[in-house]
Amino acid sequence: MNQIKKYNETTFESIKHINEYGNEYWYARELMQALEYSRWGNFINVIDKAKLACKLSENRIDDHFADVSKMVSIGSNAQRKQDDYELSRYACYLIVQNADPRKKVVAFGQTYFAVQTRKQEITEKYFNSLDEDKKRLVTRTQTIEKNKTLYKAAKDSGVVNYGKFTNYGYQGLYGGENAKQIAKRKGLTEHDEILDYMGSEELADNLFRIVQTEAKLKNENIINEQDANIAHHEVGKAVRDTIKKLGGTMPEDLPTPEKSIAQIEKEELQKLETK
């Protein structure tokens, strides 16, 4: 079990990427190395089998195996085009199912992607079955937990004034509004927590901001407060730009729920007590 956990955390999760829309993907050439294949030609055979399995499962191949190419250096300032794929989690699952079963890492990969794919399916199905109040409770809990890891990352990056740091993120996401202005627009008092008066969609927007800011602080090894503040603003604005590209509703235009998270929690507890 310790070996499986090691491969999960250091092999497959470490090569996962997140695009501008918050979707995860893996590069085929990086997965090839993780699965200990040395030649692209051999790995292409595995990918082709996975594509066939995808088609036979009545899934669109292009949705899971996106053709990409990039220029790579081959020495003496020369470059050549290198073919690759952006793979969904499901595509990775199909690939490891068709990879060489004699490799121990392939066995670990089969377990990892099977478990994670199923877990994701269950999680999405469960979340989509919830009413709005319960969706708010779930997403609010996630923002609380992720805010803790964000502030730890911010501290490691040299942040001292956490209020200012938070405002930079809000201003990027809310088109210039800081926490005080958001609270005033929502009709909240200075003692109310803004995140407790957001619907599930607005909470999800902020959760994405929080997760991606933490990743940016760590990935770019930011080590001073001003750069951390700027990074938070950039991520907030990037999330806002993504919402706009997708034709979504800007967070400041989303309705403010009448009930706070505390009220919903109280009602849920009362329901349990009466059962």
Q: What is the pLDDT of residues 85-102, one digit of tens each?
A: 999 988 998 999 889 888
Over residues 93-119, mean pLDDT: 82
Same domain, 167 and 82: no
Mean pLDDT lowest for which of 48-52, 154-158, 269-273? 269-273
| 159 shares its domain with 220 | yes
Q: Is the pLDDT confidence value at 177 over 80? A: yes
Q: Are residues 199 and 181 in the same domain?
A: yes
- Domains: count for the chain: 2
Q: Which of 141, 140, 154 is nearest to 214 (CA)?
A: 154
User: What DSSP character marks residue 11?
Assistant: I
pLDDT at 77 over 90: no
Domain boundary among the residues 94, 128, 162 is at 128
Residue 124: the pLDDT is: 76
Do residue 108 and residue 168 come from a single domain? no
Based on the number of CB atoms within 10 Å of its own CB, is 245 exposed (0-12), middle (13-18) or buried (19 or more)? exposed
Q: Compute the C-alpha angle 185/266/206, nearest 5°.
A: 40
The distance from CA 143 to its chain's CA centroid, rounded to whole angstroms, is 13
pLDDT of residue 241: 94
What's the average model confidence in pLDDT over 101-120? Answer: 79
> Is residue 272 scored above 70 in pLDDT?
no
Residue where a domain terminates, one of 128, 149, 175: 128
**Which of 53-57, 199-203, 253-257 is predicted least confidently?**
53-57
Average pLDDT, the chain: 87
Per-residue confidence (pLDDT) for residue 274, from 0 to 100:
65
> What integer pLDDT is reported at residue 2 of this predicted model?
45
State the residue range of the domain holding 252: 131-274
Question: Domain check: are 115 and 188 in the same one?
Answer: no
